[in-house]
């Protein structure tokens, strides 16, 4: 009888483990799918806005930015007027507001807000199509995608606990933000290059760290079966990985991109 109970208990535990594993795969698939849609929205918005901001027709030009390339009135407003500061810092403000308010949102609302944020980010980075060649943007995007995939897979599969990286990496991000703002107003030789190198390393580390954190958070909460929490957790996980990808891409573009 004791033997039967042991087998029965083991069978129930095994079924529960299989159920959690299946749920984890579905959760991670939702995280990556949501992130991917966000990326598509970002680059679609960036490409569309840059197409409206730049023209080769001198009759529609407000300012010349290159040989046979001119800014339209929209481009002048986005990139040369005081509005550029709002465009530049809007994603940062959006992230803080989204993170602070997500507990008061439904999962469906949070997902919609994330997609709106992704489009706003596209507007903010649209100037890359003015500064860098299209070929180098595609090339750096592919490099980033391959690097991101490798780092995320490692973070998901490694048995090593890398939770200790968190505080160090967050301090690094804060330092990057401060250094980037300083470099905008008081440019210093070599600072931009150093920021780009550190940025790539920090967000590479965050990609692995965030992937493992998302996995562990799911495993810790899976037994409660809170569907609403799971939905919002997947969206916040998508936001974290999205930011890792975008930042790694932008820093790599500064290092490897060919300028117009």
pLDDT (tens digit, 9 = 90+) per residue, 194-209?
999 999 999 999 999 9
Dist CA 177 CA 202 (whole Å): 12
Residue 86 in contact with residue 214, Cβ under 8 Å? no
Dist CA 212 CA 155 (whole Å): 5
Residue 70 has pLDDT above 80, yes or no: no
Dist CA 33 CA 172 (whole Å): 28
Listed range (53-57, 66-70, 88-92) with the worst mean pLDDT: 66-70
Residues 6+ apart with CB under 8 A from 54: 65, 69, 70, 71, 72, 75, 129, 130
Q: Would the CA dihedral through 129, 134, 136, 137 be positive or negative?
A: positive
pLDDT tens per residue, range 111-136: 999 999 999 999 999 989 888 988 99
The pTM score is 0.86
Residue 50 in contact with residue 137, Cβ under 8 Å? no
* Crossing angle (nearest 10°) for helices 227-256 and 191-221: 160
pLDDT more than 90, % of the chain: 42
pLDDT tens per residue, range 93-116: 888 888 888 888 888 898 999 999
Residue 12 in contact with residue 88, Cβ under 8 Å? no
Give residue 225's pLDDT. Answer: 61
* Domain boundaries of the chain, sorted by first residue: 2-256
Find the mean pLDDT for residues 187-196.
Answer: 86
């Amino acid at each position: 009888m004791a033997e039967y109970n042991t087998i029965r208990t083991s069978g129930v535990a095994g079924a529960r483990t299989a159920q959690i594993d299946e749920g984890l795969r579905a959760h991670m698939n939702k995280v990556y799918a949501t992130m991917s849609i966000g990326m598509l929205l970002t680059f679609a918005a960036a490409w569309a806005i840059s197409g409206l901001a730049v023209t080769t027709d001198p009759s529609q030009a407000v300012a010349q930015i290159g040989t046979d390339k001119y800014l339209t009135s929209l481009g002048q407003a986005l990139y040369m007027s005081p509005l550029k500061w709002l465009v530049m810092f809007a994603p940062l403000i959006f992230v803080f507001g989204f993170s602070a308010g997500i507990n008061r949102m439904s999962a469906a609302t949070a997902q919609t807000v994330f997609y709106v944020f992704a489009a706003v980010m596209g507007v903010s980075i649209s100037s890359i199509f003015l500064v860098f060649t299209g070929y180098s943007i595609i090339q750096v995007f592919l490099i980033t995608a391959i690097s991101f995939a490798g780092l995320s897979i490692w973070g998901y599969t490694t048995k090593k606990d890398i939770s200790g990286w968190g505080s160090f990496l967050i301090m690094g991000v804060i330092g990057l933000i401060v250094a980037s703002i300083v470099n905008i107003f008081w440019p210093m030789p070599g600072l931009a290059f150093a920021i780009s190198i550190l940025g790539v390393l920090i967000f590479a580390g965050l990609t692995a760290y965030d992937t493992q954190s998302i996995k562990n958070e799911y495993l810790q909460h899976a037994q409660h079966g809170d569907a609403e929490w799971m939905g919002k957790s997947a969206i916040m996980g998508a936001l974290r990985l999205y930011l890792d990808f975008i930042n790694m891409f932008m820093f790599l573009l500064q290092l490897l991109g060919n300028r117009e």
